[in-house]
Amino acid sequence: MMKVLFVGLGSIGLRHLKNLYSLGLNDFIVFRYRKNSPPGKIPDGLKLTEFTSYQDALNQKPDIVVISNPSVYHFDYAMQAMSLGCNVYLEKPVSHNIDNIDKMLALHKEKQVNVQVGCQLRMHPHLIKIKEWLISGDIGEIYSVSADVGEYLPGWHPWEDYRNSYAARDNQGGGVVLTLIHEIDYLYWLFQDIEVLAATGGNLTESEMDVEDTVLILMRAENKIPIQLRMDYWRSPPVRTLNIVGNNAEINWDYHAMTLEYCKRGDSPVIYKLEQTWNRNDLFLGLMENFLLSIKNKTKTISPLDDGVSVLKIAHSVKKMITN
């Protein structure tokens, strides 16, 4: 039975703990330096040994380290875990900047451990379907891509003041670009070789934070495919959509409506809708299952570290453009 160390036990850490428990694991330890967990219950019968020293926790020789503390700490904690040969489930983003990021890739290659970056949208059945269409050529030559994401940050965690959350603080690696990096990640996953051409935005809404809360990005993928992405911390109800225009068909995905529309030129749209029983946690659970399977079979994860680093570099380019 594998031993799992959780670094941080906030809302996402608690979700991973419950998911791993549902997958049959129950040898858990946790390192955390503050106890302000969100409302939620640790499963009955689960014994959780806590440590206030990361080194003491690592001395317990965990097989897996789940890192879900603020982004600014991801790099250091992941490096320590990998150096000891631990497999790592690393919440996005890989780090808050790209300083020494190539050292992480080098250590990963040296230790040959499995690293899964927590970009669970890669498990979404609609995005998987879109990827299949892109590979098969069903959409045809891609003419344009437009993605949009907006969420109201002050409403995320009712149990805490959003101004104190990592997502709203520069010294914690916050800001809409890194916090909602899922969009950049799935665009990279679908189209690869993305180059940032221009970006504008900043701290533009009424929210109180010292990071960017609104960004517009213009990118270009392989074969000169133009991609635009809008991101913000302001909209309620939340928005997450993707539009792809090709010479064979147009694609419209709406995450919150749970619909994917495939409209072939000259035909009526075909709509793929998720069942009402579908649950957002299916994404997290599927990604964790993929991680455990990759450890067992010594295969590459669906959201590997090298992809996470490439996506971080794209995000860093955006951050640099909007601050200059």
Confidence check: pLDDT of 265 > 90: no
Residues 6+ apart with CB under 8 A from 284: 15, 16, 19, 120
pLDDT at 133 over 90: yes
Nearest partner of 244 among 107, 163, 124, 138, judged by Cα: 138
Distance (Å, rounded) from C-alpha 74 to C-alpha 8?
11
Per the CB < 8 A criterion, the answer to whether 254 and 147 are in contact is no
- Give the whole-angstrom CA distance, residue 95 versus residue 39: 27
pLDDT digits (tens, 9 = 90+) for 185-243: 999 999 999 999 999 999 999 988 899 999 999 999 988 999 999 999 999 999 999 99
- Give me the pLDDT at residue 207, please: 87
- Per-residue pLDDT tens for 266-318? 889 999 999 999 999 999 999 999 999 999 999 999 999 999 999 999 999 99
Work out the pLDDT band at 73, boundaries 50, 70, 90: very high
Q: In the 3-class helix/strand/coil scheme, how is 252-273 assigned residue by residue?
A: EEECCCCEEEEEECCCCCEEEE
Inter-residue contact 200 to 215 (CB < 8 Å): yes
CA 236 – CA 210 distance, rounded (Å)? 21
Q: How confident is the model at residue 34 (pLDDT cuts 50, 70, 90)?
A: low
Mean pLDDT (whole number) for 53-65: 97
pLDDT of res. 158: 77
Say whether the peptide bond before residue 269 is cis (omega within 30 degrees of 0). no
Q: What is the pTM of this model?
A: 0.94
Burial of residue 228 (CB within 10 Å: 0-12, 13-18, 19+) is middle
Cβ atoms of 6 and 16 closer than 8 Å: yes
Q: What's the number of CA atoms in the CB half-sphere (13 Å) around residue 266?
A: 2
Structure-block tokens of residue 63:
């097989």
| 251 vs 255: CA distance, rounded Å | 13
What's the chain's length in residues?
324
Which pLDDT does position 117 carry in this prediction?
98
- Please give the share of the chain, as a percent, with pLDDT higher than 70: 98
Look at residue 17 and tell me whether its pLDDT is greater than 60: yes
pLDDT for position 250: 98
Read off the amino acid at residue 21: Y
C-alpha 69/C-alpha 4 separation (Å) is 15
Q: Of 36-45, 84-93, 171-180, which gets the smallest average pLDDT?
A: 36-45
